[in-house]
Amino acid sequence: MGKTKSGKATTGADELLKTIFQYIVKISNERDVDKLLVNLADMGRDLVSADRCTVWLVNREAEKIWSKVAHGVDRIEIPLSKGIAGHVAETGEHLVINDAYNDDRFDQQIDIATGYHTRNILALPIEDSKGEIIGVYQAINKVSGNKNFTKKDLEHLLLAASYTGKQLEVLAYAEEIKLTQREIILTLAETGEMRSKETGNHVKRVAEYSEILAEAYGLPSDQVKLLKDASPMHDIGKIAIPDSILLKPGLLTDEERTEMKTHTTLGHDMLKHSDRELLKAAVIVAYQHHEKWDGTGYPRGLKGEEIHIFGRLTAIADVFDALICKRVYKDPWPVDKIIAMFIESKSKDFDPQVVDAFLKVQDKMIKVSVELDDTIS
């Protein structure tokens, strides 16, 4: 045990720094909001020796505060005007409450709903770089010493809150960028579909189908989300196909069909310069959704697992939509005929495992085709 010049033990300070740096390593590169909130709550809990800790986020528009993660419970959402956390979010006060049930600001309904008993509470605001309150740090039930929170605990949690504000602000900016990217992609995709006299619902359906298939196939949740956001761009290259071919009512000539196939390469070339994860995924989808499992597809004749899983999943999503929906040149196929086609094409046109996944979730995909029918605005 080390000592300061005055002879006092430094164990407390050393442990505090150790805890802080341990969590900084975990938190600094985390971009998933759920995991970030888990780590932030863990850090606050350990810094003040609490039983539970919650990081609340403020939604001013909805006049609510919410937490995706709180120790021992699932998502909580409460009015901004209720409870200790709501009071702190509105007033910015720093609170040490060692007898929760004798404090009029404490909302006992959460304890009633969860079966938990709150003895004492430590709560303070989380601010962004502009001094705006964006959240609340709340620790519950001290578990060490005399089991009462102190001003020293408040100081320790304030350290966590200061760091948390910066991390949440960075995450908010990152999420805003992602949201903007998704909006741009969907708008571009819908524009391309309208030019080819399809409705924007086609790209929305393909996005939903891709998500359903990816989950059934077993992709990790972050990859499922990424594919859903990227798949609407599968036909973006058609924007560069001449109207004389794209809008031709009859059958295409061999020469016209060859030019139509270039939409995959055109889409790739439009998107390939971005280093953003979402647009890189969109490049894959645009370039590979017409490749076939047996190597007879285009534009590169990729075979089997040479085709990225995003391309293999979007291929089935796109073909399913083309068959089950009415188009200007065809009536919808009966469901049994579509299923028979996919079974027949298994290990030829399509990845057999993706076909198996499709057969498990066909009902969900049919439901999407009805809910997002082209007649629905």
Q: Which positions are annotated as active-site residues?
A: 238
Q: Comparing C-alpha atoms, which of 141, 44, 146 is closest to residue 99? A: 141
Give the tokens for residue 289. Answer: 């959704």
CB 53 within 8 A of CB 37: no
Give 346's DSSP letter.
Answer: B
* CA angle (219, 223, 226) in 5-degree steps: 145
CA distance 163 to 218: 36
Count CB atoms within 10 A of the CB of residue 342: 20
Q: Comparing C-alpha atoms, which of 49, 51, 89 is closest to residue 73? A: 51
Give 248's DSSP letter.
Answer: -
CB 308 within 8 A of CB 257: no
CA distance 145 to 11: 15
CA distance 105 to 82: 7
Q: Comparing C-alpha atoms, which of 360, 85, 331 is closest to residue 217? A: 360
Residues contacting residue 330 through CB under 8 Å, at least 6 positions apart: none
- Of all helices (H) and strands (E), which one includes residue 56? strand 50-59
Residues contacting residue 164 through CB under 8 Å, at least 6 positions apart: 40, 44, 55, 126, 135, 137
CA distance 309 to 236: 19
